Structures are given as structure tokens and as C-alpha cells.
Amino acid sequence: MTNLIPILPWIQVALSILMIGAILLQQNEAGLGAAFGGGDSSGPNFRKRGIEKVMFIATIVIAVLFALSALAPEIILYLAR
């Protein structure tokens, strides 16, 4: 099980690149003005559908996998005792 530790940095690099790509591919409905307080909150609420929903869920899954890969060395070393 400790043989996995040397390849964990490569797994984290791959997951981080995937996460950056998934975040950049998501659409922002609010626009840049809302980031600085100029957003209008009285507009209609939109639901995510289709590929937008898939990208949103994929981003969450990739982020969870990245967090688990960051904790994996500690878990592996704890279980190896």
C-alpha cells in the first residue's frame, strides 16, 4: 500500500488540471458586474440543465477526489502501522 505514495503527486497534478479545466468551462450567469456588487437579485432563478449540470457535478467530484488524494498519505501510513 505504501507503493502508492510516490505516484500521489502525479495524481494530484492530473486532478488539479482537470479541476481547473472544469471550473473554467462553467458558465457564469451573473457576469462580472455581480462580482463587485452590481448584480440584480430580482431576476429569475435559473436551474442547471444538461452539460452545465454535468460539469457542475464533475467539478464537485474532482474536488472531493483531490481532497482525498491530499489526505491519502496520512491514511495509508496510518493503516500500514
Instruction: Of 59, 51, 54, give the one whose Cα is nearest residue 24.
Output: 59
- Digits of tens for pLDDT over the chain (81 positions)? 678 888 999 999 999 999 999 999 887 665 555 556 655 555 566 777 888 889 999 999 999 999 999 998 898 888 888
For 25-43, b where at least 16 C-beta lie within 10 A, e where not — what string? eeeeeeeeeeeeeeeeeee
CA distance 76 to 2: 7
Instruction: Specify the pTM.
Output: 0.72
Q: CA torsion 25→56→65→24, rounded to 10°?
A: 20
Sketch the domain layout of the chain as residue ranges: 2-29+46-80
DSSP letter (8 states) at residue 44:
P
